[in-house]
Structure 1
Amino acid sequence: MRTVRGCGAAIALLVGAGTSLAAQRVDVVVGRGVGSTPITGRAFVIFTRDNSREPRLQAGSYAGGVPFFGVDVSELEAGQPAVIDAATLGFPTKSLRDIPAGSYFVQGLMVVYTKVTPKHGKTIWVPWDQWEGRQWNRTPGNLVSDVQSVTWDPNGSHLTMTLTKVLPPVETLADTRWVKRIKIQSPLLSAWWGKPVYLGATVLLPKGWEDNPTTRYPAIYIQGHFGEGAPFGFNPDGKPETAEARSARTVRSAREPGYEFAQSWSSPAFPKMVAITFQHPTPYYDDSYAVNSANTGPYQDALIQELIPYLEEKFRLIPKSYARLLTGGSTGGWEALALQIQQPKFFGGTWSLYPDGVDFSRNQMIDNYADTNAFMPNAGPNQWLMHDRFLSRAEDGQPQTTVRQMAQLERVLGSRVRGGQQLEAYDATYGPVGDDGYPKPLFDRVTGTIDKSVAAYWRDNGYDLNHYLKQNWSRIGKDLNGKITVWVGDMDNYFLNLGVYKMEETFKALKGQATFQYGRPMKPHGWQPVTNAEMVRQMARHVAKRASVEGR
């Protein structure tokens, strides 16, 4: 689960002179000599009253954000307008008509698509990741305009946004003696997509790694969203946490700041392990969910057959099951569970934190199997008042975003499951290929109607992890016992605790050995009962125990 989209560091703005507008329309035009034309992609315009950072960096979040509007373009030539008018859908404001009169900073943007023919044989146009983690408003090669200061009249305004700049390549972080980064081309994924595809990893080394060239180490594979920051937030150059900050943090979670973790990791007596995060973005989301997928390709195979063996050789890791541990939160929590459950002999244990839906009868608040509509619960025969279903809540129960609102955001970000947001990530990862070559969605983004054939596909292809456990327990149970720990707050902001309850019931019914712990009272998304350092200590004890059983 990605909780924030469209946010970024403050940067200087290039604001044009005040412009007076006239007819309810915005033309987004590619400047001559800018990028390669013709362009197939999606054009956007973004409005904001805040000039502290570019408008494009303020839009696209389901937790909030400024008004923006998007429209597909096909083979658009330089000078030819992509027209955004009153009929163009926006988020959170639905129409240009709904933008209140006043002064705004406005920016145009073009997401440029790439033509590919994946192994499924259908040619499609997708936003190809450029190692930025599928961020529509940051992708290198996308086109942007200068920011204009405008006076907007919703009853009659006409603005032209000329795209004059190409977003530059991403600057990679520098390695240190503690943190190393690698990036390799994947033969499996490159063959599947028909063009080069890369996998990456960020590696945190233990104290003394360089001084002990014959020593091999256990590995902790930390699953989660795209990013090249140090595992566990390791930051030896930070500052100690203030008493006030610690008090506020520990109400929500025991997870410590990166500086505090670095003090533990670099201490002489701390367990000597190697911590690793993966980078595996797809055209549809900032990571692949570490599974094989009909729409994104054999990512799980590539991670296990290509990336992990490379890491084991390069960083002297112990190439045995007991020494391969998993953890991660939210999206990463689901991945850490999926890899352990689907590959029980390969991995030696998982600490899954607040995982995305692990039982699709509790897909957040949607029951994929019993519900007919994603936007609202099933209605009784005498029910006239319909209630929207919520996607998120505050930990005190206060409602936040609805599924309908999220669907609106996804429609604005892109057609055909190309917006890169959370629910469409599930469609692209778990779902079948549609007749047009794009992922077939679980539910209609306009009506909310659930496609039961897609729900069945998700389940029958192993993505409903609780169902997978039940169906395969006789084969995998003995290799999973004692390897699974799950932590989640009882007021998880995305209702992810509901699926975890169902999985715990399954383990009890199967007499399986697993640990489930719930944060109470009112613990939110992100809760964990111990610090990261203490979790690593638990892992080290687990490795020592399993090594004595499996043999070193």
Structure 2
Amino acid sequence: ASPQQRVSPAVQPTIPPTTIPSTASPSSGEDAQAAATQRTRVDAGRRVQPAEVGVALPSDTITVTLPEASAELLDPRDRSGRMILFFRARDSRAIGDPSDGPFFEDPQPVGSIQVDSVVPGVPIEVGSTAVWWPGGTELLAGDYEVQAILDVNRSDRGHMAPGNLRSGVVTINFARDHADEVRLELTQKIPPLVLPETKGIAWIDLPSALLSAAANRPVGHKAAVIFPAGYHDIRAKRRVWPTVYMVPGFGGRYTEAIALAPTLGNPALGEFWPQAVYVILDPESSLGHHGFVDSPLNGPRGTALVRELIPYIEDRYRVLREPSARIVTGHSSGGWASVWLALTHPEIFGAAFASSPDPLDFGAFQMSDLYRDLNLYSDADGSDRPSFRQDIGPKHDLVPMRVRDEVSVEYAMAPDGTSGQQWDAWAASFSPVATGALSARRLCDPHTGVIDPVTVEGWSRYDIARRMRADWNGLGRLFVERVRVIVGERDSFYLERAALRLRDSIDAHIRAETIAGREFPSGPGYIEIVPGATHASVFRPAQIRFNREIRAFFQGAGHHD
């Protein structure tokens, strides 16, 4: 997830769902469970209502054509792919074109179909074999903007990847009492990423032998290096610098350096930003945010980082080569990756600073306990589990997106699990490979939400809290000595629950060791919950605090003036 939202800009839902009074600030994982449960017994916003029983609705006709005049847009080698249809109700407050979805704040319909061969001038009918959410277009009523995407890019994440084709936006007035006709033409090609020549930034595109061997195709490391104000100044006292590795959140990339460089390289802001070389990593794979874990589908991402990219950077630039001169930091999915890297590669990173990390404890994976719950979509009493909430007041939350909706939207976009969206990305990072397929084994049945225990066992290898409980003297000590975590009490994706649960475990272990007369080391590590803060609002105060602590960390090691 990004500092703002997981995948889309902040807007208000079209049809406000029920609001539930908030509760007092939780002080523990159990309190957080109770507080979140009381706040989230709500229905999501917009819903397509089913037809009356026994009433047959007319079948709509939807065709998408690559005009002969636009045939050159499509590489002859890319004739097959996934045709995705995105919709946006005209009265929706979701911002942007339909293809900018999925929209968390106001979920909109989506459907897709596999296309084996695109022939210019020949219409492709999106009919009965399409996969829809929440239902087929026959159930729609009112004005909707419609847009088609032909996803042919298998190397980059998501439907907006370079080389994919899209149509213009067409507005259709859907009605249930007659068959509607939708005709779309693919006339646009999503352009490739162009990296600007920016002062103070060095772009890295390094081939990876490890990742290429795992993928059986060329794969590389991408990153941006931002230099401190004194790096190129012959008058500067320092010649060799510490390094801050930044992991962007979900949807973020190394191109975030473009916005960061003017700030990080500004001498006037040297008191705010620790003076170091900043490396903005690229967490994207073709399947989504890979979290820098070694996984069957994404390949050895963490190993390749520390064995290939970091040595390349340290050979090329004037940076210090020791753990006390390297820290890793990030927000949301980038925060989780930062904690993971610090614990799995302590010989590389001396400390981690993470805000709003993805679930640190899979026993509190958003609102689910993956080890005990039977269903991802609903709890024991049948109530839908929420996925995304908005803070609409000091005592009320609003929930426009349920887990059921989020997973189903991803399935409608790509039934094979390659949507690149959040749950598919987690599966690509944590899941074993599905039997007889080159795709991730699903965490749950996409239709029913029933959790697959075999997949959970695979995910458990990446459960940071579970790994720590099995190795207090190793990982537990590392966490206390090196990891700082800050989360908002009302995190938009319920990520505070996992953080609190892990904090409870650490506190309980320290108490038990004290009672037994054994000394457990203290350290600067912590998990802090900020009262009233959300996934987005906690980002700035966390960054300010982290910057002070990173500076102090480097100063303590003699790496900062």
Please tell me the TM-score bracket, short chain as reference: 0.7 to 0.9
Match of 2:48 in 1: none
**What is the number of residues matched between the two proteins?**
484
**CA shift for structure 1 position 498:** 0.8
Q: Counterparts in 2 of 1:2-401, with a 5 A limit?
A: 2=2, 3-5=5-7, 24-32=60-68, 33-34=71-72, 35-37=74-76, 39-48=79-88, 55-64=97-106, 66-85=108-127, 88-91=130-133, 93-102=134-143, 104-113=144-153, 127-129=154-156, 134-136=157-159, 138-154=160-176, 155-176=178-199, 178-212=200-234, 215-225=239-249, 226-231=252-257, 233-234=259-260, 236=262, 266-267=269-270, 271-285=274-288, 287-379=289-381, 386-395=382-391, 396-401=396-401
SS in structure 1 opposite 2:196?
Answer: coil
Aligned 8 A contact 1:325 1:349 in 2: yes
Q: Per-residue CA shift, 1:57-80, capped at 9, x if unaligned?
A: 433233335433211222444444
Query: Do the aligned partners of 2:110 and 2:413 also contact (CA within 8 Å) in 1?
Result: no
Instruction: Output the TM-score relative to the length of structure 1.
Output: 0.80
- Asked if the contact 1:216–1:318 (Cα under 8 Å) also holds between the matched residues in 2, the reply is yes
Aligned 8 A contact 1:47 1:106 in 2: yes
Three-state SS of the structure 1 residue aligned to 2:439 is coil
Report the CA distance shift for 1:397/1:164 in structure 2 as closer, same or farther (over 3 A): closer
CA contact (8 A) 1:264 1:533 kept: no
Q: TM-score, normalised on structure 2? A: 0.79
CA gap 1:145/1:65 in 2 versus in 1, 3 angstroms: same
Residue 415 (structure 1) shift: 1.3
CA offsets per residue over residues 321-369 of structure 1, 9 Å max, x none?
1111011111011001000111122210011111100111001111110
1:483-498 map, 5 Å: 483-498=482-497
Is this contact kept in 2: 1:142–1:166, CA < 8 A?
yes
Distance change in 2, residues 1:320/1:196 (3 Å): same
Aligned residues of 1:28 and 1:44 also touching (Cα < 8 A): no
Q: What is the alpha-carbon distance in structure 2 between the residues aligned to residue 61 and residue 453 of structure 1? A: 31
**Following TM superposition, by how much is the alpha carbon of 1:180 offset from its aligned partner in structure 2, in angstroms?**
2.7
Structure 1 residue 389, shift from structure 2 partner? 0.7
Any idea what the Cα deviations from partners look like across 1:166-198, whole Å, max 9, x if unmatched? Answer: 32212223321x333222111111121121112
* Amino acid corresponding to residue 275 of structure 1 in structure 2: Y
In structure 2, relative to structure 1, the CA distance for the partners of 1:478 and 1:408 (3 Å cut) is: closer
User: How much does 1:530 deviate?
Assistant: 3.5
Maintained 8 Å contact 1:231/1:275: no
* Cα deviations by residue, 1:14-63 (Å, 9 ceiling, x for unpaired): xxxxxxxx960211233343413562211122334669997344332333
In 2, the alpha carbon distance for the partners of 1:522 and 1:532 equals 14
TM-superposed deviation, 1:319: 0.9
Does the 8 A contact of 2:373 with 2:379 survive in 1?
yes
Shift of 1:481: 4.0
Moved more, 503-512 or 436-445: 503-512
CA contact (8 A) 2:331 2:356 kept: yes
Give secondary structure in 2 for the equivalent of 1:482.
helix
Which amino acid in 1 is paired with 2:207? Q
Distance 1:476 1:53, change over 3 A: closer
Q: Structure 1 residues 392, 101: CA separation in 2 closer, same or farther (over 3 Å shift)?
A: closer
Question: Paired residue for 2:471?
Answer: 472
Q: How far does the alpha carbon of each residue in 1:106-161 deviate from its partner, in whole angstroms, 9 at most, with x for none?
A: 33220015xxxxxxxxxxxxx321xxxx241x211111223445454442122332
Whether the 8 Å contact between 2:9 and 2:95 is mirrored in structure 1 is no
Name the residue aligned to 2:13. none
Residues of 1 paired with 2:557 and 2:266: CA distance? 27
Q: Which amino acid aligns with 2:62?
A: V
Deviation, structure 1 residue 475: 3.5
Query: Displacement, 1:477?
Result: 4.5
Structure 2 counterpart of 1:444: 445
| Residues 402 and 230 of structure 1: CA distance in aligned 2, closer, same or farther (over 3 Å) | closer
In structure 2, relative to structure 1, the CA distance for the partners of 1:308 and 1:434 (3 Å cut) is same
| Distance in 2, Cα, partners of 1:349 & 1:231 | 22
The answer for unaligned runs of 5 or more in structure 1 is 9-21, 114-126, 237-257, 380-385
Residue matched to 1:245: none
Q: Cα deviations across residues 423-465 of structure 1 (Å, max 9, x unaligned)?
A: 1111110000011121001111111000011111111x2x100
Instruction: Indicate how the Cα distance of structure 1 residues 197 and 411 shifts in structure 2: closer, same or farther if over 3 A, else same.
Output: same
Shift of 1:262: 6.8
Quickly say closer, same or farther: Cα 1:526–1:179, change in 2 above 3 A.
farther
Check whether the contact 2:240–2:320 (CA below 8 A) recurs between aligned residues: yes
Aligned-residue CA RMSD (Å): 3.0
One-letter code aligned to 1:330: S
- Contact 2:329–2:338 at 8 Å: present in 1 too? yes
Q: Is the 8 A contact 1:404 1:448 kept in 2?
A: yes
Equivalent position amino acid for 2:305 in 1: L
Distance 1:278 1:110, change over 3 A: same
Distance 2:329 2:295 in 1: 21
Q: Secondary structure at the match of 1:305?
A: helix
Runs of at least 5 residues in structure 2 that lack an aligned partner in the other structure: 11-57, 511-519
Matched residue SS, 1:393: strand
Distance in 2 between residues matched to 1:268 and 1:359, nearest whole Å: 35
Structure-2 change in CA distance of 1:36 and 1:220 (3 Å): same
| Residues 7, 57 of structure 1: 8 Å contact kept | no
Question: 1:193-248 deviations in whole A, cap 9, x for unaligned?
Answer: 12111211122211110024981111111112332444595364xxxxxxxxxxxx
Name the CA distance, whole Å, in 1 between partners of 2:455 and 2:359.
Answer: 16
Distance 1:269 1:80 in 2: 59
* 1:95 aligned partner, one-letter code: G
The letter for the 1-side match of 2:301 is Y
Q: Match of 1:110, as an amino acid?
A: L
My pick for the range that moved more, 212-221 or 434-443, is: 212-221
Distance in structure 2 (CA, Å) of the matches to 1:493 and 1:264: 35
Question: How far is the alpha carbon of 1:402 from its aligned partner?
Answer: 0.7
Contact 2:88 2:98 in 1 (8 A): no
Moved more, 227-236 or 366-375: 227-236
Partner of 1:246: none
